[in-house]
Amino acid sequence: MFSDLLTGLLLVLQWPTIGFLFLGVLFGIFLGIIPGLGVIIGMVVLLPFTFGMDPVSAFALLLGMYAVTSTSDTISSVMLGVPGTSASQATILDGYPLAQKGHAARALGAAFTTSAFGGVFGALVLALSLPLIRPVIQSFSSPEIFMLGVLGLTMVGSLSGGSLSKGLAVAALGLLMSTVGYSDSGAIPRYYFGVGYLIDGLPMIPVVLGLFALPELMELAIRNRSISRTDSAEVEGGGILDGVKDAARHWWLAVRCATIGTYIGMLPGLGASIVDWLAYGHAVQSAKDKSQFGKGDIRGVIAPEAANNATRGGSLIPTVAFGVPGSLGAAILLGALLIVGLKPGPEMLTTEITTTFSMVWSIAIANMLATMLLLLTARHVAKLAFLPGHMIVPAIIMFVFMGAWLGGGDIGDWVVCLTMGVVGFFMKRGAWPRPPLVLALVLGSIMENAYLLTGRVYDGFEWLQRPIVVVISLVIAVTLFVVIRGILRQKRDGANITQGEGVSGSPVFSLPLSILFLVIFSSATVLATDWPNSVKQFPVLLGICGAIFTFFAVVNDGFTFRKTLATEAGFRNAVTRASKDAVFGKASLFMGSLILMVLVMLIIGQKLALPLFIGFYLKFWGGYRLRTCLIYSLCAWAFMIGFYDRVMHLFWYPAWLESQLPALLPGWIPSWLFV
């Protein structure tokens, strides 16, 4: 086996394979940084280039990109509070607060170091444990997959603030949102309300970008401040080397989380979606001092980053060894295997073991290359945290809306993004945690299929007696017990609950949202009653559970609201104070300007509407000189043409101007420059 391992390494290090690996790493870093792109886009773009290549070189190119998007996506998680991919959701809880403290470089240094460690550790552990993998994977069937999803949602829901009911209610809401559109168990569309766009379900990317990116950008715009709340001259420490030292100091935590990531990542379809939350939850529960989690604890960055990179190697095994892709990216990778003449199956662990080991080595080396490149640039990236917010917002708005457009190439993607931006603003102001909703939306269809399949295969609740299900159930129970005990203890001692995203907010925003969610859950349950049993079973379960969780949130918000009315001497004063604290007027104006941009886009198209918005924003919101606004807008326009149009060949919205412009332009000017 050692000789096969060494042969696999030599295959990767030979030329031109190592060159293709380096190209894949560079492309993967770029895709991970820009919100809305990620590994799927990378696979689609690179796959045609693998035709005619030898298997090792082809997979060096693909895996070089595949391995590092979960490293570079940390940049947007830390700098913007926006998960670059689903693998970096947990990183935002402590990464973004560190950036707000002026310690962005420290967070990036720790994240990149532990990402490299996790990727290499996961690949090596995976290589050594290949003979043991088959029984581990085969022991997980639909009951275990469903319960693992419940564990992930329980973990994120319970770690998102002082109100456990809110966290679990948001998780139920995300699962309910995942049922929009056709059910896999019956040809009946659910909750689409006659809107054709919703027939295929809600796309993930517009929801995530709207929910996380727009509220944070709104914060930067309306308060006219940088990402960091501290001036660069006042920041003590927080450099890249400090982050590297943090990673070294917490090496045992990184080892544990990388181990979690390696083996959970092997589970088809589910592991990579929840592993960062399992690692984050482990970090919180194993820590003696939990007071800084959610406020900028470096351990909250180290744990998920070590785990999510370790999953890359783990998720490769069920794809190549059993032909079971665990995600869309893995499915494309499976297609690449067939393209280069390899057949997924047991022979990948026997006769083709050197090729399999070359894939493992590609992942390990790619992580090391990416980390070295990112550490060299992290100091400069971290400086963005001190730039004026008005200089950052326009560029990110372009990436957000173009990333949302990649979700399905439909105007509905922008509508969903704007809608979720409003929802995200109210959730943030009302102390409703947002991460559970995104994770639930990712897991929804997987959990529903596992739940229905479990019900068909097993009689009653017989499946709850399966050994792994029992173990996962005990972990869920212990998690809930520890969280509830901690919340009750803090309330009894009169201490403020500081852990998680939903820790502080106004009941003026929270109570209406609680009532709205209660109405949604109740209405969803009623609407589903006439559907066939296989179609309605999961939504009805979610509606009932969500209504119960939300009812407790309504009661709690009601008591808090009464106290606020007494403190502020009346309803009007309370609303006025809450609106002033949230800068609600400017927030509404900012959202209105985005809606206006969308309406203008219907007339002149995206290639002109987005640069035009950037110019107007810089002039009227930022107060910059006309020359600065023009240069910024032209750079944005050039990037849209060069990358999104010429490289990605994106489908653009057929605006009114598209039918009029060709007749107005001289023949030597191509219309694709503008529409």
Q: What is the 3-state secondary structure (H, E, C) of 223-238?
A: HCCCCCCCCHHHCCCC
**562: which residues sit within 8 A by CB, 6+ positions away?**
none
Please name every residue paired with 186 in a beta bridge, in sequence order, or none if there are none: 183
Give the pLDDT confidence of 613-632 residue by residue, as tens digits. 999 999 988 889 999 999 99
Give CA–CA dist 583/565, Å, rounded.
Answer: 20
Residue 183 main-chain phi, psi, to 5 deg:
-85, 145
Is the peptide bond between 662 and the residue preceding it cis, with omega within 30 degrees of 0? no
pLDDT at 547: 94
Which pair of tokens denotes residue 381? 């990236």
**438: which residues sit within 8 A by CB, 6+ positions away?**
83, 86, 89, 174, 204, 207, 208, 211, 212
Which pair of tokens denotes residue 241? 């080397």
User: Nearest CA to 386 among 34, 33, 92, 102?
Assistant: 102
pLDDT at 133: 64
pLDDT at 229: 63
pLDDT at 647: 79
pLDDT at 501: 57
Which pair of tokens denotes residue 424? 């995200």
Phi-psi region of 625 (alpha: psi -120 to 50; beta: other; left: phi over 0): beta
Residue ranges, the chain, pLDDT below 50? 498
Quick one: DSSP state of residue 462?
A: G
**Measured between alpha carbons, how far is residue 120 from residues 23, 188, 342 in Å?**
19, 46, 25
pLDDT at 491: 64
467 in helix, strand or coil? helix
Which pair of tokens denotes residue 49? 């280039």
pLDDT at 162: 60
**636: which residues sit within 8 A by CB, 6+ positions away?**
394, 395, 398, 610, 611, 614
Give the pLDDT confidence of 188-213 residue by residue, as tens digits. 889 988 888 888 888 888 888 888 88
**42: which residues sit within 8 A by CB, 6+ positions away?**
27, 28, 31, 65, 66, 69
